Amino acid sequence: MSDTSQNTEVQELTAEELEAIEKKYDEGAATRQVSPGLAKVLRFVALSFAIYHYLTAGFSLPPDHWHMGWHLAGLFILTYALFPMVKTPTSFDLKTGSLRLGGVPYLDVILMILGVSSALYLGLAWRGIPFLGIEEQTFRMGAPNQYDMFFGCVLILLVLDIARRTLGWVLPMIICVFMAYALFGPIFPGILQHPGVKFRTFVSSMYFPQEGIFGVTLWVVSTIVFHFVLFGVIAQRTGLGELFIDNATILAGRYTGGPAKVSVVSSAFFGTISGSSVANTVSTGALTIPNMKRLGYPGHFAGGVEAAASAGGQITPPIMGAAAFIMAEFLELPYTTIIIAAIFPAILHYVGVFAVVHLMARRLKLKGLGTDMLPKFKAVWREGWANIVPLMGLLIVLFNGYTPFMSAFCGISLSIIAGMSRRREPITLIYSAAFIAFALWKFSNGGFGPIITALLVLGAAIATFNPQKRITLSEMAETFETGVKYALAVGAASAAVGIVVGVINTTGIGFRIGFMVTQGASSLGSDIYNLFSLTGFEFFAIEDLTLFISLVFIALACILMGAGIPTTALYIMLVSVAQPALAQLGVPPIASHMFVLYYGVVAEITPPVCTSAYAAAAIANSNPFRTGISAFTLGLGKVVAPMAFVYAPVLLIVSSTGFDLWEFTYAAASCIAGVIALSASVVGYWLAPLGRIYRILLAIAGIVFIAPSLQADLAALLIASPAVITQVITRRKEGAPA
């Protein structure tokens, strides 16, 4: 049966089937089976890993070289134990034999030991090891000894290997191209040519801190991102995700196309605690996709709605994807500034998805959910109110100027209390008491102010009144373990992409490629300008054409390179090109960084490689490619939004160009009009069905609207007017009495 003709009986997937889907499409969820004995050892390692990061976030971080070394050591142990060398249908099954240790081949055990040794050697040799003839690290910078060379080479190779095991071949191959460029610079043509980096210098710069593997990307992931991933997993386990879905159903379920709108709203809510598109898709899609199909939505469209909405998790404040934290470090801005800048772009994305969903429901004449199918507001909040306390605590700490990892520590602590402390079970109040003692200790040494301390103590006390079933210690330990597994892939990617950052800093390739982009765009822009000038009219200035063509080049590069590369890694690689190129054209830094981040997220729902859409297709039992196409068209708001905040940085609120309320309001209204026009074009329906010519006119008008200016908006209105007038007349005829 085609997925466009759905039976009213829609089979809902079991928890096991949903877990299997997540393992298939989420690179961090698919792990091999090991023996019960080794599983206990790995659980101990994972819990030690999580508790170490949790405690250091709240109390004190060790020196960077030790902190990142411990993080890498944990990655090596868990990745080599859980991810097979080659992924086959049987490679995840439990296998035993003389060449395996608890189901793990001895080769992987050897690589694990080498990886841990290379990760920890830097800390051990930091102050020198006299009896081995190893000097202090300061004296070895740029002149590594034989031990540095050995462990440095091992680390480079094994970091690429764990990235390959968790994420596939694409990212390591691209990194190898960067490495080749650094080492063999003289053979490259034209502006790309450079003297080349000596092998010893290359290993030194990749291995020693500040740049390379032990650089900013690994620091951000080990210090901030891991904690937010852990918070998201714990918050979902304690019931915050369910609370979001229930409230989304209450808000949007009764209206036209209710379940689809529930998908959009719940994904927007859930995106505030999850930076993973696939996890978001599976978590909310388990409920919303079957409901959409019951209502009459085609399977591929239902899956596309969920994938497009869920991809917004990485761009939805306050907890965005890992790339947002790295952006804050690159721009040397507080993370709260990035959150504020992301507010309107995220709204624009969800407006676009919501508009398509609403118009498709109107076109298919779909109704909302019946009153009997809607959760009861009082019942939902009577049971789940305590789950909002951890998120509120995290945001209060974050927006009062404390570090992201301190806010994550408070959020995790309050999640543990909401899940495990109950006032009727006095022994469980130890969790609440411990956090209250921590808050008072921070207050006593000047770490927390009186208001923050009072709010955190109040939150810890209130959370113990949670009426939901208490989570046991073993269940919480399992949740911590799951959070660590989710963080393995992003950790491996951050370590590997550090090599790219090191190469960019060493060779200046970002500025070289950026110059090529702007030169190519300028040349093409001049040709187009000359072509139009022959008519006697000057529609655009050369500078405008150059900027637009540069943006298109960079957007295409993001989407094409994004096939199979995580958003974080893609952002780091491409922002190094985009920033120099767009800076030459006068684009503020935060706008160029947001531009690249958005197109990195768009790549996640762009066929042929769109893991979120494929996961949604598995739940919807629909054609994966058609689901990917639906997700891409539904995500058009994300496709055009980056153009808007390059042309109108005021939309980012905190841009260096300044903020003006009237200018912001006008630009925002123009962008929303453009997204709605594009949505009507995609669906083929606005007030009434749209013909092909009118759909094309609305698409063109929508794109013109996105560049906010009075001249552009008047042109867009002129282009759209035939479609609008025809729609109004048709609607009046349909509404007239027979």
Domain boundaries, the chain: 31-218, 660-738
N-term to C-term CA, the chain: 39
Residue type, 40: K
Amino acid 329: pLDDT: 86
Does the structure show a pLDDT above 70 at 27?
Answer: no
- Identify whether the C-beta of residue 683 lies closer than 8 Å to the C-beta of residue 301: no
- What mean pLDDT comes out for the span 446-452? 92
Q: What is the overall mean pLDDT for the chain?
A: 83
Amino acid 471: pLDDT: 93
Q: Place 115 in a pLDDT band, splitting at 50, 70 and 90.
A: very high
Q: Place 60 in a pLDDT band, splitting at 50, 70 and 90.
A: confident
Give the least confident one: 86-95, 503-512, 592-601, 628-637.
86-95
- Identify whether the C-beta of residue 568 lies closer than 8 Å to the C-beta of residue 323: yes
Does the structure show a pLDDT above 50 at 737?
Answer: no
Does the structure show a pLDDT above 70 at 138?
Answer: yes
For 289, the token pair is: 């996709």
Element (H, E) at 704: helix 692-705
Element (H, E) at 568: helix 567-584
Amino acid 605: pLDDT: 77
Percentages of the chain per state (helix, strand, coil), in multiples of 5 = 75, 0, 25
Q: Kind of pairing, strands 104-105 and 100-101? A: antiparallel
- Identify whether the C-beta of residue 103 lies closer than 8 Å to the C-beta of residue 94: yes
- List beta partners, residue 293: none
Q: What is the DSSP string of 272-291?
A: TT---HHHHHHHHHHHHHHH
Does the structure show a pLDDT above 90 at 171?
Answer: no
Element (H, E) at 100: strand 100-101
Give the least confident one: 77-81, 184-188, 246-250, 636-640.
636-640
- Identify whether the C-beta of residue 112 lies closer than 8 Å to the C-beta of residue 76: yes
For 74, the token pair is: 């944990």
Model-wide pTM > 0.75: yes
Q: What is the DSSP string of 171-185?
A: HHHHHHHHHHHHHTG
- List beta partners, residue 425: 422
Does the structure show a pLDDT above 70 at 6?
Answer: no
Instruction: Return d(Cα 352, Cα 682) in angstroms, integer.
Output: 11
Q: Which pLDDT tens digit goes with each residue over 266-296?
A: 776 766 665 566 666 776 777 778 877 877 7
Does the structure show a pLDDT above 90 at 460?
Answer: yes
- Identify whether the C-beta of residue 731 lies closer than 8 Å to the C-beta of residue 687: yes
Bond from prior residue into 144 cis (ω within 30 degrees of 0): no
Q: How far is CA 650 from CA 323, 653, 667, in A?
A: 22, 5, 8
Q: How far is CA 653 from CA 410, 645, 661, 669, in A?
A: 28, 10, 9, 15
Residue positions counted in the chain: 738
Instruction: Return d(Cα 607, Cα 477) in angstroms, integer.
Output: 37
Q: Nearest to residue 258, comparing CAs of 288, 282, 286?
A: 288
Amino acid 7: pLDDT: 43
| 3-state DSSP of 625-642 | HHHHHHHHHHCHHHHHHH
Of residues 593 and 280, which shows the higher confidence score? Answer: 593
